[in-house]
Structure 1
């Protein structure tokens, strides 16, 4: 009764009374997203017997359309998983509840990862419209056995130059382990949803960026941004990453790593769930990669610049049109502000907590892989929190970089189309600036 009163003001102990039903929309964040989320919510429903939470999992291919449709039609769920790069656009639709009071009672802005708080209050917005939930960071996974056989010490792969040296050693070693030839690295190309996320650390590492700090001007055509892009693509030019991978998506190249065909692979932290789980749960815990993998910090630019690692992830928002405001706010607070719950989310989803106090648990401090993930959280960076970023990313940059991958794959093996690549980057820069200008004119 005390817990119920604390969350909702009053409730009845009569089991026959109809429960207050909350609708929660999430994305497929784990191997079994519905069951995993229900597991996380079990204690919330036990502590609040007057509330039932119904979980709906939205596939990523339809999530944006469903969320924006719900916002524009004043319908949809009570609580919504809000991918960080979507937060500004949905906020601009004025369909989300202010969350400042919940953040304040949860420890304030400093209780959460600052990179996620940027999206909680998008550019030009005074009130928070979401609360940080979890972080998507992307370490560099590697095969211990492959590196050892090639004479590569992972502790000495710290910057881009050392990374290239390691890749060259692996290529020259012509490794075959358990009847499987091993390429140095793989990353996907045109047919992938992670293209911009994959490029971001290299652009930032070279001192470049996508947009300026106000989100009003493209920086893609700066020397620094171009240098970062060209370095990333040089891994294809120099034969470390097969041109064939540029026609694959993340799942396909990830499977290549799982099945022993790659020595290095960038991926999200929940990759560990699949590598450590048995096959009957959808994992690959007994194959050669699962027996021999570790994770390390991604290499940084050699000029001594500050390391910046890509940060994605999701916040949680409450619909302005909910009929269950108190219960919805209580659910969000349970999921974001309790270290024990954040820890359980990390266990079942594999992502990193947005609540910083969660990192005090031995779960993070006493595991070599998770310790690497935790170090990355200190140097995270993401895109500007402007409402039109989603369209820039999906409608312009994915298409333009798809053109770049086409230039590479259509060129003869020994021909590298660098001038054409740079021309395409500059064309993307101009298109982004035109798009931003139209968006700003329309909002005046």
Structure 2
């Protein structure tokens, strides 16, 4: 997933402290004669490509101008808080999937459900079920999936074949067996890279083991047997030397290429271009596959959504832009420009994805991908998990005891 980690700030507790005057630069523009201008806030790298796709929208809608304002990810959260407080901001805004509960609770995002009839591109049935879940606040659809990413297994086909595996591991048992065997190739060699700082990894494995993360009332279930068993399985790779405990001082491309110090890893779609660009000598020696399964092979789902600002004065035009960005053909153009995967299911019927040996695994994996729980406390819970897991894989803490501690900490976080 493209990761953007932010300090967690409760919207409702900050709004009263913000000055309601002083509108942000780039706020929604009204009409110029019979022509209207809408402002779109794009975050990070996406903002660089948005003007190009906005030109396509303007050609189809000559009475609407689109002004794209680039907002750095590390400033975006605070700018949105100020926009909500002043009720002056963008017409359309890019939303990180983990922000939806916070700004949905603040009433900052327009419910798009009433607009589906006139804008069928917004219909949830067009998108992967997991991505739709990231747009929901209570019973409202306060965003529309824009692009998605998920995790799959990257592996060196040549090295696995030498180790006796003619195809990618399909089960937990096969994954562990392959990783152990590859780690025995010699000193300084490993079987797989499992990033200990990747906060979704433990939760992803837990779900694959049939564990629930939260109960029906958002009560944590982190010391349930299936969750504990998954953490123990994950820890076994570190304990047995199949994955390194520390940063080796090399990036994943270096570890993946050459002798394959790290011949398998779990990551998102952006790695395809990086491998092709930085390690062209690997052509024909690597591939991607859906994640191995235990009870299932659920992967983590991320990406970005587009939301319409509740206080827009250009509601119709803003919704129309969001609908345009949801067209399969638009999302395919966006993929070619940015390497971002389409959120619309129909896009995956296109030969550029269906016929691509690397991307097709992502299309399959999207059918079994779920976002992390869409609650505003999740970031703090995830960071707490990383601290607990470090005590396990590095400090050799007992898995069950540490998960009991994590459970208690999570209960406190959720009770705030």
Q: CA deviation at 1:19?
A: 6.0
Q: Is residue 2:278 matched to residue 1:274?
A: no
4+ residue stretches of structure 1 with deviation over 6 A? Answer: none
Q: Is residue 2:291 matched to residue 1:298?
A: yes
Give, in whole Å, the separation in 1 of the partners of 2:236 and 2:324. Answer: 46
Give, in whole Å, the separation in 2 of the partners of 1:146 and 1:59. Answer: 41
Q: CA deviation at 1:136?
A: 1.4
Give, in whole Å, the separation in 1 of the partners of 2:252 and 2:73. Answer: 19
Give, in whole Å, the separation in 2 of the partners of 1:324 and 1:229. Answer: 49
**Gap change, CA 1:25 and 1:418, over 3 Å in 2:** same
- Specify the alignment match of 1:280 in structure 2: none
Check conservation: 2:95, 2:305, Cα contact below 8 A. Answer: yes
Counterpart selection for 2:317 from 302, 327, 349: 327
Counterpart selection for 2:208 from 181, 195, 205: 205
- Specify the alignment match of 1:343 in structure 2: 332
Give, in whole Å, the separation in 1 of the partners of 2:401 and 2:75. Answer: 33
Q: Is residue 2:45 matched to residue 1:38?
A: no
Q: CA deviation at 1:368?
A: 1.9
Q: Which runs of 5+ in 1 are unaligned?
A: 1-10, 176-180, 278-283, 412-416, 439-444
Matches within 5 A, 1:129-208: 129-155=142-168, 157-174=169-186, 182-189=189-196, 192=197, 194-195=198-199, 197-208=200-211
Aligned residues: 383
Check conservation: 1:254, 1:265, Cα contact below 8 A. Answer: no
Please give the per-residue CA displacement for 1:138-167, whole angstroms capped at 9, x wherever unaligned: 111112232233332224x10010011111
Give, in whole Å, the separation in 2 of the partners of 1:73 and 1:276. Answer: 46
- Specify the alignment match of 2:74 in structure 1: 61
TM-score (norm 1): 0.78
Q: Which runs of 5+ in 2 are unaligned?
A: 1-30
Match of 1:82, SS? strand
**Gap change, CA 1:433 and 1:372, over 3 Å in 2:** same
Judge which range, 199-208 or 99-108, deviates more.
Answer: 99-108
TM-score (norm 2): 0.83
Check conservation: 1:397, 1:428, Cα contact below 8 A. Answer: no
Q: CA deviation at 1:263?
A: 0.4
Check conservation: 1:187, 1:253, Cα contact below 8 A. Answer: no
**Gap change, CA 1:381 and 1:34, over 3 Å in 2:** closer
- Specify the alignment match of 2:358 in structure 1: 369
Q: CA deviation at 1:68?
A: 3.4
Check conservation: 1:21, 1:54, Cα contact below 8 A. Answer: yes
Match of 1:185, SS? coil
RMSD: 2.7
